[in-house]
Chains A and B, each alone.
Chain A
Amino acid sequence: SQQGEEDPQALSIQEGENATMNCSYKTSINNLQWYRQNSGRGLVHLILIRSNEREKHSGRLRVTLDTSKKSSSLLITASRAADTASYFCATDYGNNRLAFGKGNQVVVIP
């Protein structure tokens, strides 16, 4: 299976703190993407990092990719209550086929 797996799976933090999530995958990929899902809603694309990139930033998001370890991390800085959601990594293993991990549930306490 190509599925990514996030670690840890549940995270509870105070507003203003940073949240870090990790993802590992099994085989070679074209790119790795992170998505957010609010309760009862569809997934929203956050950021994409290509296999030849090591780090990428978008606003308060920072994603890293280590292809030698087949792992990625997502950092959300200065978290807000609105960041409360589930976060999924997805690996693109060719032909835009996306395999999702189990997800990280993040709760930001105001």
Chain B
Amino acid sequence: DAKTTQPTSMDCAEGRAANLPCNHSTISGNEYVYWYRQIHSQGPQYIIHGLKNNETNEMASLIITEDRKSSTLILPHATLRDTAVYYCIALGRASGSRLTFGEGTQLTVNP
């Protein structure tokens, strides 16, 4: 799997958009970008994934650059419950369906 790099921590005001960046400069053509989050002491939660087109679902939007070397997860209206560690991972067939999280970004949403 391609290595991903994320900032260690970010802050966001409640009600504002949270934009979480991820670099994956060595991503290969068949690797998808997946985002998960983990709220303290809970199981990880799938958020969204994409290959090269921008994606949106009820939780978030995923913007992938044209060269696919980086992406941004957007939470349009962050709430206090969005405080969590967010993980960006690049996954292809070689990973054998096993998820491995790196350090992730600790997002703190402030009132």
A and B assemble together: no
Give the interface of B toward A (CB within 8 A): none
